[in-house]
Amino acid sequence: MTRALRFLPLAVALACSNGGTSDNGTDTDVEDPNAGLDIDAVGDFSCFTPAATFEATTWAAAQVAIANPGNVTVDGTVEDFEKAEPRSSRTVSLWYGDAVSGEPDVSAEVGSAAGDVSIVSPACQPITYRTQELPGLGEAKPTFKAHAVFGKGEGGHIAATFQSVSNTTYTLIPTIVSIDIDPTKGSIAGTAYDCSRDPDMLPDNDTGKIKGARMRIFDADGNPPEGAAIKYFVDDFPDRNQPYTSADGLWGAFNVPPGEWTIELYAKVGGEVVVLGRTKASVYPDTINIANVWSGHENGVKLPATCVDGGGAGDTDVPADTDVPPVTAK
């Protein structure tokens, strides 16, 4: 199916806000960050003990990846996020260190009109990927996704989708939610997930999407991004007035200045406002960054069940890099 209207949710998923902006465009809910948060979040939060502050939260037990998971060949398809149609003329790049620093560790160009791309990635290890159009096309924005983890797959191969956000989608979603998008800044979008969500699930699977959560964004000093706005989606469509995530779990932050930002997921659980999870995102001008937040996890990394001891079958046929230590996801 096409995603004629679903593209809007993705864009919104870029951010979370306290529900409004002040005269200078920054969040105004600093004084009362919980205003409008009038429902208990709907989701499974049994994997950890939430608390009112990040420091007081007892996070989920660290996931220890199986030893030497090796590499996996990702048989990917690059898809337009809005149309869910394959896109050619795109390059997929991976940074194995889960940080965009220097040249990517590996890049591959889409091989056909079907959007096929084959690329090798370490299995069970967070990486950052970027889809980017070939120069001069003017069709799509560079789309980053940090903390992506590929499982071990079958026979050393795993299927995956790399999303590419078109210029059209990138511009239209903010316009609909009354945001004048600034090309010197970037956007972040993502989904709020509860404990039941497995990273191997496909985006169309609604399992574990949290209703009733909010996001806040801040830098290392705890300051919110000046001029940024956070919006939530309703039924996969961006909504100006939605005060927290709806059942689709989607949120978006727009006009976030370039830099390193922490995204914190919070919600009312059992009548108390608590922190549910955190992730980090590196924002670049005029790009979109997909950053999902996992309940119970403090760094935005959650390993698929197949990567955890006893989590399932799977094997790799690519020799493991023995220098790579086992990954621990918190």
Partner 1 sequence: MRILPFAPLLWASMAWAAPAPTPVAPPVVAPPPAPAGMTDAERATLEQMQAELKALQDQVAAQAAALDKQKADLEEQRAGLAADRKAVADNEPPFKLEVTGYYRVRGHLFGAGGEKSTHGGLFADQKGAATYMDQRLRVGLKFNYKNLASLNVGVQALDGVLFGDNASKERTSLFATDPSDTGLTGAEVPNFQVFRAWTEARLPIGQIRIGRMTSTWGLGILANAGDGFDDDFGDNYYGNTYDRFLFGTNPVSIVQKITKKEETKEIPLTLAVAVDRLVEDPLVQYYGYKCNPGDVTGDEAYDARCDADGNGTTDLDHSWTENRDPSQRAANWWADPNDDVWEMVYALIYRGSKIKYFGGVGDLNVGTYIIQRLQKETKSNVVIADFYLDGKVHGVSLGFEGVGIFGNTHALTLPNSGADPIGKKAQIGGYVLRVGYEQAKWKVLWENGYASGDDDVTDGNFTGRALSPDYNVGLLLYEEVLARVSAAKWTGDASGLRSRGGVYNSHYIFPRVYGMPIDNLQVIGGFVMGFVDKPDGAVIRCSDKDVERGLNCTPTPGTKGPLGWEVDAAVKYKIQKHVSFSLEGGYAHTGNRIPVENVGLNPNGNFFTLQTRLAWEF
Q: Do 197 and 207 touch, CB atoms closer than 8 A?
A: yes
Q: Does 167 bind partner 1 (CB under 8 A)?
A: yes
In the complex, minimum distance from the CB of residue 309 to partner 1, in angstroms, rounded to a whole number: 30
* Nearer to partner 1 (CB atom), residue 82 or residue 194: 82
- Cα angle for residues 292, 97, 111 (degrees, 5° grid): 80
Q: Does 241 bind partner 1 (CB under 8 A)?
A: yes
Q: Does 82 bind partner 1 (CB under 8 A)?
A: yes
Among 47, 181, 273, 305, binds partner 1 (CB under 8 A): 181
**Rule CB under 8 A: which of 284-303 touch partner 1?**
none
* Nearer to partner 1 (CB atom), residue 241 or residue 328: 241
Count of beta carbons in the 10 Å neighbourhood of residue 330: 15
- Provide the 3-class DSSP secondary structure of residue 318: strand
Count of beta carbons in the 10 Å neighbourhood of residue 66: 19
Tokens at 307, concatenated: 């990567």
Among 44, 75, 235, 315, binds partner 1 (CB under 8 A): 235
* Nearer to partner 1 (CB atom), residue 242 or residue 299: 242
Among 29, 239, 264, 298, binds partner 1 (CB under 8 A): 239
In the complex, minimum distance from the CB of residue 314 to partner 1, in angstroms, rounded to a whole number: 25
Q: Does 2 bind partner 1 (CB under 8 A)?
A: yes
Residue type, 129: Y
Q: Which of these ranges, 29-37, 229-237, 265-273, 289-297, lies near partner 1 under the rule CB under 8 A?
A: 229-237
Q: Does 242 bind partner 1 (CB under 8 A)?
A: yes
Q: Does 238 bind partner 1 (CB under 8 A)?
A: yes
DSSP string of 29-93, one letter each residue: TTS-TTTT--SB-BS--TTSB-BSSTTT-BPPPPEEBPS---EEEEEEEEEETTT--B--SEEEE
Burial of 97 (0-12, 13-18, 19+ CB in 10 A): middle
Positive or negative, the CA dihedral 205, 210, 212, 217 is negative
- Provide the 3-class DSSP secondary structure of residue 201: coil
In the complex, minimum distance from the CB of residue 217 to partner 1, in angstroms, rounded to a whole number: 16
Q: Does 189 bind partner 1 (CB under 8 A)?
A: no
Q: Does 196 bind partner 1 (CB under 8 A)?
A: no
Distance CA 42, CA 25 (A): 30
Distance CA 233, CA 8 (A): 8
Contacts of residue 81, Cβ cutoff 8 Å, sequence gap at least 6: 3, 7, 10, 143, 163, 164, 165, 166, 169
Q: Which of these ranges, 86-94, 96-104, 157-165, 239-247, lies near partner 1 under the rule CB under 8 A?
A: 239-247
In the complex, minimum distance from the CB of residue 229 to partner 1, in angstroms, rounded to a whole number: 6
Q: How many residues bind partner 1 (CB under 8 A)?
A: 41
Residue type, 211: K
* Nearer to partner 1 (CB atom), residue 57 or residue 143: 143
* Nearer to partner 1 (CB atom), residue 180 or residue 219: 180
Q: Give the residues lining the site for partner 1 (CB under 8 A).
A: 1-7, 21, 23-25, 82, 166-169, 171-172, 174-183, 204, 206, 227, 229, 234-235, 237-242, 247
